[in-house]
Structure 1
Amino acid sequence: MSTQHDACYLELMPAVRLRLGGREVRLSEAMSALVVAVAIRKEGLSRRALQARMWPDLDSGDASKRLRQLLWRIRQATDDRLLDVTAECVRLADMVGVDLRDAELCARRAIDGVAAGLPADWGLLGEELLTSWPDEGVYDEQDRWDRLRLLALERLAERLLAAGDVLEAIEVAGRAMNVDEFSEAPHRILAAAYLARGDQASAWRVYTRYRDFLAGEMGLEPSTAFRDLIGAQATGPARRQQPRAVRRPSLAF
């Protein structure tokens, strides 16, 4: 986790948590809702947009009054160090650290192949954003984060496998599978990792579970590349037969 912003650090994964000067600050539900709305937008939100999001059923005058009151409460609770408030906009103060931003940086470095520079807490890529958060306004950001971290975990697992770090590749591929159970790449990488350590039974089990899941949920079957990796000769997703020969894994995906 980043130490640059230890004075004020906001966590959004998996839930809202604010640390200020080494102590945890407890935010009310309304305060958390406003902070989340502002935090997921790097540029912040206009006061009008915040009012409409927080109090859609109130007229502009009442909503404006509620916003002023809530901003005052947040300032008091955070020593006026969390938010940068102007007449038009509300955003996080420049020196506030956010785990989502650290995780995004980690993800992009993994995608770009900067494995040597990844922080020790790359495990942030396995974290969900705002788990069970009730506001639909965060759904798009949750989807965007899941797409980014899935790709990052896949790329990281591929490179770990290619470098011979099989156990770590298995761990990372497993985390990627948890992000999207429909995505084939993590299953294929996991199977390749098992094959790399000579565990043909586990590789076959990964393949058949994914094959049966895909057939049951979507009526589809794994790609030719996945079938060829395992050596499966099945012509349809529901057929079960032992592979004639298990090939050594290809490290190119």
Structure 2
Amino acid sequence: MGNVDYGIYELDLMQSWQLRQGGSTLHVAARQQRLIAALAVRGPSLRTYIAGMLWPEYPEAKALESLRVTVHLVSRQLPGLLVKDGALLSLHHEVDVDLHAVRLILKEAALPGGTTAAGRLQELRDLEFLPGWYEDWVLFEQGRLRHDRLRAFSLLSRQFAGQGNHEAAAEAAIAALAIEPLYESAVRVLVAAELAQGNVASAMLAYEKYREQLSEDMGVTPSDALRKLISGATGQRPRSADVQLVPAGSSRLIQQPLLDNV
């Protein structure tokens, strides 16, 4: 039995949990929400695996009983949403899950010569996976998506820089920095893009914000490559590894990163 008989379900997991059918939002209890979200994230899974993931504090028998009750409640309220194949559970393949669309965009963006539209990536700038949920499997997925978004924006910034589209390169770099404030390769793209546009002051502001936060959070200094880039643009020669150039506060770069390889 598939949900084709009942109307296609649409499941949102980005920003907030929401299930719709035929344009109407369905009210689902938290217990059932957790099961549906877990299957959307993990795909077809053994009942024992899902039970242990959702009720890790329970003995196996009790966790399986909790799963059985939850599956019954979902099947009764939302016919066709779940597919039960012996020991396997899954969502019906026609359930439209926003997380899957996000994963596809990020996967395409990471391909060499990928043609993912920059506008589609920009839509993902502020998206979060189930904010306010703190279970281990949710935190893992949040971290995974954070990493993939950082990688996508970083690749996009370098792609734009290579095309000579310095304004777009700067915006993509800022999006990467909003995810990981100490990601230095994004800072380099941002500084280079601002310099290429003749925005020396903006480049200096970005560098100084990064240098200050890096020193405060990590107790280290920017790389030689970054310091040479900024000093070459200003005609100043660094006197030491912790040289401070022009102090300033930035309105564009609120956050900046270190981890040079994602």
Q: TM-score band, normalised by the shorter chain?
A: 0.7 to 0.9
Structure 2 counterparts to residues 209-220 of structure 1, below 5 A = 209-220=209-220
Q: Which AA in structure 2 matches 1:18?
A: L
Distance 1:160 1:7, change over 3 A: farther
Instruction: Determine the structure 2 residue equivalent to 1:183.
Output: 183
Instruction: Determine the structure 1 residue equivalent to 2:138.
Output: 138
Aligned-partner Cα distance in 1 for 2:59–2:143: 31
Distance 1:123 1:22, change over 3 A: farther
Preserved contact between residue 234 and residue 240 of structure 1 (Cα < 8 Å): no
Offset at 1:114? 4.3
Q: Which AA in structure 2 matches 1:140?
A: F
Gaps in structure 2 of 5+ consecutive residues: 1-6, 248-260
Q: How big is each residue's C-alpha offset from its partner over 1:41-96, in whole Å with a ceiling of 9 and x where there is no partner?
A: 13x3221222223334445444433322211222233332x222222021222112
Gaps in structure 1 of 5+ consecutive residues: 1-5, 244-252
Q: Within the alignment, does 1:199 sit opposite 2:199 as a pair?
A: yes
Distance 1:224 1:74, change over 3 A: same
Aligned-partner Cα distance in 1 for 2:118–2:23: 21
Q: Within the alignment, does 1:92 sit opposite 2:91 as a pair?
A: yes
- The range that moved more, 207-216 or 144-153, is 144-153
Q: Which AA in structure 2 matches 1:131?
A: P
Q: Which AA in structure 1 matches 2:35?
A: L
Q: How big is each residue's C-alpha offset from its partner over 1:1-31, in whole Å with a ceiling of 9 and x where there is no partner?
A: xxxxx93332222222222232222322111
Aligned-partner Cα distance in 2 for 1:234–1:7: 65
Instruction: Determine the structure 1 residue equivalent to 2:42.
Output: 41
Alpha-carbon RMSD across the aligned residues, in angstroms, is: 2.6
Which secondary structure does the structure 2 equivalent of 1:182 belong to?
coil
Instruction: Determine the structure 1 residue equivalent to 2:66.
Output: 66
Distance 1:234 1:184, change over 3 A: farther
Preserved contact between residue 109 and residue 118 of structure 1 (Cα < 8 Å): no
Offset at 1:120? 4.4
Offset at 1:194? 1.4
Instruction: Determine the structure 1 residue equivalent to 2:104.
Output: 105
With the length of structure 1 as denominator, give the TM-score of the two structures: 0.82
Aligned-partner Cα distance in 1 for 2:173–2:240: 26
Q: How many residues align structurally? A: 236
Aligned-partner Cα distance in 2 for 1:173–1:9: 32
